[in-house]
């Protein structure tokens, strides 16, 4: 809600108005900034929709929020670079810094990499006001285009006071998810995003925004990651464990300059014998290795002093447990961690806290 100083004469006049009139004046729509990056939501056959055209597709939007629009880029999600990630986070931080009355920000993204961009912003936008990332599974002018409905939901979530302090949110298909936890679970269906294990944060209902739970992990305003002066994110690669896998990809990643490697291990952290030898080579080259699971859910815990049930090579002192983060999100956290430190204990703390 916005509050403005009124002239004395107008203030006295309003003091004599009925309460219902005063409520109508006070209930000024929240102001929300739309920052577009492209993606399927704007990928009309033959050309891409501008932010103005996107907003025009949303019915009755002016009754819900006061909109501002800004085009950051207009490309497919796979064409967004890590350099643009840095620019986008800096831009959102600047928008919030310069405009204390802005209720929130909506960011459009292609759904293929939406969860990656959202989690990156979750760690680098250092404000309590909501950033809501949104996209669509179907293109404009195709049957069942979901972009307009999803965008309307995102504006409502970004403008709602209850969204403050919940980190970066993802709003699609009437559901609200945390950027940390959400994942794309289907390539084509409208119900393409889920939060496995924990469930969604809330819903966009007909009458109001409803939240069911919050987050315990650090994010946004509580984040220690300051990318204001970061010129380039360090290279971190992901390698999947599978039956008979050699260590060639891990060695190649090390030799090509990766500063970190995330292992998408089988089950609770298993890798092949060839991969274990290559991981030892990565340790020798001071490359940080984080172990996650390829299963889609579950937590990889730090190893304790007695690990008889595990292979001894898995208990290397340089090993870092990825906790419950999916491999693609562990990569993002490791990239940001490496912009701040190379201390392994400090990086372990980050994986425990974020």
Quick one: pLDDT at residue 289? 97
* pLDDT confidence band for 45 (50 / 70 / 90): confident
Burial 287-314, CB ≥16 within 10 A → b, else e: bbbbbbbbeeeeebeebeeeeeeeeeeb
Quick one: pLDDT at residue 304? 60
Q: Note if 195 is an active site residue.
A: no
Nearest residue to 161 via CA among 205, 121, 129: 129
Nearest residue to 343 via CA among 276, 286, 295: 286
Dist. CA 241–CA 293, nearest whole Å: 9
Quick one: pLDDT at residue 208? 97
pLDDT(334) > 80: yes
Please identify which of the residues 13, 20, 36, 40 carries the catalytic annotation.
40
Structural domains present in the chain: 8-222 (3.40.50.1170), 236-353 (3.40.50.40)
Quick one: pLDDT at residue 345? 96
Over the chain, what is the mean pLDDT? 90
Handedness of CA 89, 93, 94, 100 (dihedral sign): positive
- Close Cβ partners of 242 (under 8 Å, ≥ 6 residues apart): 266, 272
| pLDDT per residue as tens digits for the range 121-170 | 999 999 999 999 999 999 999 999 999 999 999 999 999 999 999 999 99
Q: What is the average pLDDT across 289-300?
A: 96
Q: What tokens were used for 84?
A: 């643009």
| pLDDT per residue as tens digits for the range 183-206 | 999 998 999 999 999 999 999 999
Q: Which of 4-13, 279-288, 333-342 has the lowest mean pLDDT?
A: 4-13
Quick one: pLDDT at residue 258? 98
Nearest residue to 163 via CA among 174, 154, 150: 154
Q: What is the CA radius of gyration of the chain?
A: 23
Beta bridge partners of 260: 236, 288
Burial class (CB in 10 A: 0-12, 13-18, 19+), 71: middle
| pLDDT per residue as tens digits for the range 218-263 | 999 999 999 999 999 999 999 999 999 999 999 999 999 999 999 9
Dist. CA 224–CA 111, nearest whole Å: 27
């Amino acid at each position: 809600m916005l509050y403005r100083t009124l002239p004395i004469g107008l203030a006295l006049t309003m003091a004599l108005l009925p309460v219902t009139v005063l409520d109508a004046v006070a209930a000024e729509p929240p102001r929300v900034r739309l920052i577009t990056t492209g993606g399927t939501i704007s990928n009309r056959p033959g050309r891409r929709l501008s932010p103005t055209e996107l907003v025009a597709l949303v019915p009755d939007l002016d009754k819900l929020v006061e909109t501002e629009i800004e085009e950051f880029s207009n490309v497919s999600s796979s064409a967004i670079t890590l350099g643009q990630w840095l620019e986008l986070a800096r831009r959102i931080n600047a928008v919030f810094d310069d405009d204390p009355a802005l209720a929130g920000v909506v960011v459009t993204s292609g759904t293929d990499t939406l969860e990656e961009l959202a989690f990156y912003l979750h760690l680098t936008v250092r404000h309590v006001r909501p950033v809501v990332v949104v996209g669509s599974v179907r293109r404009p002018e195709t049957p069942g285009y979901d972009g307009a409905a999803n965008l309307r939901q995102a504006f409502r979530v970004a403008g709602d006071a209850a969204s403050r302090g919940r980190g970066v949110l993802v709003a699609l298909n009437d559901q609200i998810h945390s950027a940390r936890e959400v994942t794309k679970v289907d390539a084509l269906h409208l119900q393409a995003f889920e939060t496995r294990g924990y469930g969604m944060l809330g819903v966009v209902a007909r009458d109001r925004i409803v939240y069911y739970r919050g987050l315990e992990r650090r994010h946004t305003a509580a984040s220690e990651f300051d990318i204001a002066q970061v010129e380039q994110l360090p290279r971190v690669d992901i390698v999947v464990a599978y039956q008979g896998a050699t260590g060639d990809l891990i060695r190649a990643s090390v030799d090509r300059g990766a500063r970190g490697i995330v292992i998408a291990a089988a089950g609770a952290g298993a890798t092949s014998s060839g991969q274990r030898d290559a991981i030892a080579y990565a340790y020798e080259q001071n490359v940080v290795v984080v172990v996650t699971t390829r299963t889609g859910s579950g937590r990889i815990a730090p190893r304790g002093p007695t690990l008889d049930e595990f292979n001894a090579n898995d208990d290397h002192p340089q090993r870092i447990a990825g906790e419950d983060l999916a491999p693609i999100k562990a990569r993002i956290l490791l990239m940001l961690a490496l912009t701040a430190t190379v201390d392994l204990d400090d990086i372990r703390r980050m994986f425990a806290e974020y």
